[in-house]
């Protein structure tokens, strides 16, 4: 080594040592997270702490510029990455690099009953968020399907807390693998859109814990969610963002949540309450920010200057602020300051493939008399009817509205697969629904106007139906107000726009009429007996047309199962059973969940199984399965540590490969508290070649047998007789196994 190179090497070593010594703990990612958080916090002024706990624009919050700590960018969620909006307004910014893949709506994901699909979904959407430099994905939504009128049910995972819990965990974990936080919403009891900003939910403790909280709890305690979004509504008198029971006692107390509670946009109302009761970050309070205010309007946020003032005056403790700021720092370090996170990807072939796969697995074959589907080989002329076959569904519906790179319409997807089979496809409109195609400045560019009268539209469709070998009607709801859309509820359980009459006319004209409905909600089916086949298609996003065509033509063998009950009429759902306005939509601002645990099948099972068109868990296949006699594994005894395991032999008895979902329900034969007739507590999906058999082992841990005792606030198992019900749907039980639990057990959350 020359003298010069020795000097250079020494200088380099020395400067590295200086740099190392100078690297503050908070910037050193070899240090433990908590040490970094506390170090950063200790360097921050009061104003800087206040600065990071509220928005600086519609979807971002600042970091700490003096310390080189970056801010946070949020994005909707939950079905794709929303287009960038203007700094202070909801309207899209008009960027050209923010088109995304729209993944299927969460109802469709839930209908796969396949946690692997939830993992694929979470990982894929997380990659899109990461590529777009978003740190917080505002989703998934896990509010329980209480009423089929709720306009936002399509963004949630159905009526069952167990199914929701199993599906939300892999979604959250998949998103967060990318260094992007999932923000689970809308915590809690945001089950209707009517009066959503203020409606006060009154629900008993047991129902709260058994039905409405488990999805959130699983997302936090098992999924490790880094953020959660308290919603707009009130619970027991206090807005969710200001609710100490929800935020302090349950979320941060019982569940040990160490992440950030981020307000829904504009859901904060009071500095004192929000400061004390556990909310960490405020967004969306002043929607016109810099445009309207004399000064920076974000300074007027409840958690901005007004909060700082109360602390400086000694009226609020700084310790609460320190906790909030520490949580926000933790979030920043887990996301934007994580140098090891992957780079993400946008609009990749893999993401389109994931969307198509999840869509195909989530589509539910409700009815298939005479095996009409898949489209038989003798069909040469196929008629497609219905507005939803040609309408882009990714634009509209509220905050989940997207700007997609591409969207395959059902008619185009059907045409593509028909062409390869030598089938001619004709199209007739049948009805005109809602021809608007705009949301926050994103337009579909479609002109769906049609001047024909309703009678003429039906007459034209009927004429074409008579000439076709088979008819596929594609209808349902859409993303317009009072359909499946944020901020309004539906006003009727029926399909809109005269569709019932169209379907009846088509069925009369052509006995091979298949109904495919795209919705996020159940609806009445007065034409059910008249049509041989019905498919529940959901909102499937970018790959909608391909996924639907895959199922109709049989390239994909359907395996979806309903995540909520399709009852006959609105009054077959407990909140609507007696037309009691206190139960829905509420009276004088209060809505009372008087039905308690009687949500979905927990209601219809006991009171009116015959009032259901398609039960929770129902879904057919193009093959057939046989469930052999289920047995308890081992000595069949329940233990606190491992519960009990059920072995279920499944055989594919048909002629093509397919997947079946084995569902395990638990029934408490006698209980001191009234319990639902049965409740889903385990499930497993298995793919089998024709003739193949396998045995699924499904574990029921102790939680599967417990109820929440409101008197003691403990989860409780009473000794006594239980029954384990195994089947392929909540109304298709094939084995009933008795089980006796000899001791009692209790535990705290």
Neighbouring C-beta atoms of residue 740, cutoff 10 Å: 12
Tokens of 409: 């319409």
The two counts, helices (H) then strands (E), for the chain are 19, 31
Tokens of 73: 């960018």
Q: Cα(193)–Cα(151) distance, rounded to whole angstroms?
A: 6
The answer to whether residue 185 forms part of the interface with ligand BGC (CB under 6 A) is yes
CB of 472 to ligand BGC, least distance (A): 33
Catalytic site includes residue 264: yes
The answer to whether residue 233 forms part of the interface with ligand BGC (CB under 6 A) is no
The answer to whether residue 264 forms part of the interface with ligand BGC (CB under 6 A) is yes
Start-end of H helices in 375-438? 410-419
Comparison of 176 and 233: residue with beta carbon closer to ligand BGC: 233
Comparison of 483 and 498: residue with beta carbon closer to ligand BGC: 483
Q: How far does Cα 6 stand from its chain's mean position?
A: 62
* DSSP assignments along 656-674, one per residue: S-EEEEEEEEEEESS-SS-
Element (H, E) at 603: helix 601-607
Q: At what angle do helices 454-467 and 499-509 cross, to 10 degrees?
A: 30
Contact predicate 281/303, CB 8 Å: yes
CB of 248 to ligand BGC, least distance (A): 22
Q: At what angle do helices 115-131 and 349-362 cross, to 10 degrees?
A: 150
The answer to whether residue 660 forms part of the interface with ligand BGC (CB under 6 A) is no
Site string for ligand BGC, 393-432 (x = CB under 6 A): ------x---------------------------------
**Cα 249 to Cα 33, 113, 254, 304, 454, distances in angstroms:** 25, 32, 6, 25, 56
Q: Cα(721)–Cα(670) distance, rounded to whole angstroms?
A: 7
Tokens of 268: 């904060």
Residue that has been written with the tokens 């307004």 in this structure: 89
Nearest residue to 484 (alpha-carbon basis) of 444, 547, 535, 433: 433
CB of 241 to ligand BGC, least distance (A): 12
CB of 80 to ligand BGC, least distance (A): 13
State how beta strands 234-235 and 693-700 pair: unpaired
The answer to whether residue 488 forms part of the interface with ligand BGC (CB under 6 A) is no
Rg of the chain over Cα atoms, rounded to whole angstroms, equals 27
Comparison of 137 and 408: residue with beta carbon closer to ligand BGC: 137
Q: Cα(674)–Cα(738) distance, rounded to whole angstroms?
A: 19
Nearest residue to 160 (alpha-carbon basis) of 730, 668, 744: 730
Comparison of 264 and 434: residue with beta carbon closer to ligand BGC: 264
Return contacts of 443-450, CB within 8 angstroms, 24+ apart. 443/395, 444/391, 444/392, 444/395, 446/390, 446/391, 446/392, 448/387, 448/390, 448/391
Comparison of 187 and 638: residue with beta carbon closer to ligand BGC: 187
Start-end of H helices in 31-114? 33-43, 46-52, 106-111
Among positions 133-152, residues that touch ligand BGC (CB under 6 A) are 138
Comparison of 106 and 470: residue with beta carbon closer to ligand BGC: 106
Query: 3-state class of 138 per DSSP?
Result: strand
CB of 48 to ligand BGC, least distance (A): 25
**CA dihedral sign, ordered 360, 599, 480, 164:** negative
Nearest residue to 538 (alpha-carbon basis) of 261, 227, 155: 155
Nearest residue to 81 (alpha-carbon basis) of 50, 125, 48: 125
Q: Which of 26, 265, 553, 566 binds ligand BGC (CB under 6 A)?
A: 265
Contact predicate 675/723, CB 8 Å: no
Q: Cα(542)–Cα(99) distance, rounded to whole angstroms?
A: 11
Cross-strand partners of 137: 75, 182
Phi and psi, residue 538, nearest 5°: 60, -170
Site string for ligand BGC, 71-90 (x = CB under 6 A): -----xx-------------
Nearest residue to 666 (alpha-carbon basis) of 603, 612, 571, 736: 736
Q: Which residues contact 244 (CB under 8 A, 6 or more apart)?
A: 238, 276, 277, 278
**720 phi-psi bin (left φ>0, alpha ψ -120 to 50, beta other):** left
CB of 197 to ligand BGC, least distance (A): 10
Comparison of 264 and 282: residue with beta carbon closer to ligand BGC: 264
Torsion from C-alpha of 691, 368, 155, 254, nearest 10 degrees: -50
Q: Cα(168)–Cα(131) distance, rounded to whole angstroms?
A: 22
Residue tagged active-site, from 264, 481, 572, 668: 264
Total binding residues for ligand BGC by CB under 6 A? 7
Q: Cα(727)–Cα(3) distance, rounded to whole angstroms?
A: 82
List, by residue number, the catalytic residues. Answer: 264
Residues that bind ligand BGC (CB under 6 A): 76-77, 138, 185, 264-265, 399
């Amino acid at each position: 080594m020359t003298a010069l190179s020795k000097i250079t090497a020494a200088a380099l070593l020395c400067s590295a040592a200086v740099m190392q010594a100078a690297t503050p703990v908070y910037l050193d990612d070899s240090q433990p997270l908590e040490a970094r958080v506390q170090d950063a916090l200790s360097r921050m002024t009061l104003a800087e702490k206040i600065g990071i706990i509220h928005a600086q624009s519609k979807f971002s919050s600042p970091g700490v510029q003096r310390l080189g700590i970056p801010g946070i960018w949020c994005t909707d969620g939950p079905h794709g990455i929303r287009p960038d909006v203007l700094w202070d307004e909801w309207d899209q910014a008009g960027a050209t690099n923010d088109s995304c893949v729209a993944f299927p709506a969460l109802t469709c994901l839930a209908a796969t009953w396949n946690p692997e699909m939830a993992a694929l979904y979470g990982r894929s959407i997380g990659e899109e968020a990461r590529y777009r430099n978003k740190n917080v994905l505002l989703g998934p939504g896990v509010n329980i399907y209480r009423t089929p009128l709720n306009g936002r049910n399509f963004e949630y995972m159905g009526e069952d807390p167990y199914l929701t819990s199993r599906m939300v965990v892999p979604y959250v974990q998949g998103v967060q693998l990318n260094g992007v936080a999932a923000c689970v919403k809308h915590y809690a009891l945001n089950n209707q859109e009517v009066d959503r900003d203020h409606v006060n939910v009154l629900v008993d403790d047991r129902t709260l814990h058994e039905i409405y909280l488990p999805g959130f709890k699983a997302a936090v305690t098992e999924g490790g969610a880094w953020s959660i979004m308290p919603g707009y509504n009130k619970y027991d008198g206090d807005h969710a963002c200001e609710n100490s029971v929800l935020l302090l006692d349950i979320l941060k107390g019982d569940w040990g949540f160490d992440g950030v509670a981020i307000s829904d946009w504009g859901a904060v109302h009071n500095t004192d309450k929000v400061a004390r009761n556990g909310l960490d970050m405020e967004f969306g309070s002043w929607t016109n920010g810099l445009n309207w205010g004399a000064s920076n309007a974000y300074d007027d946020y409840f958690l901005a200057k007004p909060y700082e003032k109360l602390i400086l005056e000694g009226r609020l403790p700084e310790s609460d602020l320190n906790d909030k700021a520490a949580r926000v720092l933790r979030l920043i370090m887990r996301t934007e300051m994580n140098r090891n996170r992957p780079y993400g990807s946008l609009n990749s072939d893999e993401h389109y493939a994931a969307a198509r796969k999840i869509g195909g697995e989530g589509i539910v074959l409700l009815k298939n008399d005479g095996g009409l589907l898949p489209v038989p080989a003798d069909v040469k002329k196929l008629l497609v009817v219905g507005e939803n076959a040609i309408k882009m569904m990714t634009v509209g519906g509220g905050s989940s509205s997207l700007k997609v790179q591409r969207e395959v319409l059902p008619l185009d997807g059907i045409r593509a697969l028909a062409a390869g089979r030598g089938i001619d496809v004709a199209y007739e409109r049948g009805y005109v629904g809602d021809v608007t195609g705009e949301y926050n400045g994103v337009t579909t560019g479609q002109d769906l106007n049609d001047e024909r009268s309703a009678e003429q539209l039906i007459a034209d469709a009927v004429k074409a139906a008579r000439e076709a070998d088979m008819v596929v009607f594609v209808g349902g709801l859409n993303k317009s107000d009072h359909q499946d859309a944020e901020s309004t509820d539906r006003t009727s359980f029926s399909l809109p726009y005269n569709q019932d009459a169209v379907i009846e006319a088509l069925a009369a004209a052509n006995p091979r009429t298949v109904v495919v409905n795209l919705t996020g909600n159940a609806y009445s089916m007065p034409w059910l007996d008249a049509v041989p086949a019905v498919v529940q298609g959901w909102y499937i996003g970018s790959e909608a047309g391909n996924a639907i065509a895959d199922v109709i033509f049989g390239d994909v063998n359907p395996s979806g199962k309903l995540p909520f009950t399709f009852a006959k009429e609105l009054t077959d759902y407990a909140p609507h059973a007696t037309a009691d306005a206190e139960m829905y939509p509420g009276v004088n601002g209060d809505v009372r969940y008087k039905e308690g645990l009687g949500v979905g099948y927990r209601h219809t099972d006991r009171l009116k199984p015959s009032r259901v068109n398609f039960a929770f868990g129902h879904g057919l296949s193009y093959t057939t399965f046989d469930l052999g006699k289920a047995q308890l594994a081992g000595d069949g005894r329940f233990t606190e540590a491992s519960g009990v395991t059920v072995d279920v032999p499944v055989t594919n008895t048909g002629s093509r490969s397919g997947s079946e979902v084995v569902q395990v329900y638990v029934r408490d034969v006698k209980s001191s508290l009234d319990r639902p007739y049965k409740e889903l507590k385990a499930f497993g999906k298995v793919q089998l070649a024709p003739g193949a058999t396998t045995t699924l082992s499904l574990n029921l841990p102790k939680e599967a047998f417990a109820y929440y005792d409101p008197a003691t606030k403990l989860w409780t198992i009473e000794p006594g007789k239980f029954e384990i019900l195994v089947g392929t749907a909540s109304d298709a039980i094939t084995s009933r196994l008795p089980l006796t639990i000899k001791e009692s057990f209790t535990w705290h959350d």
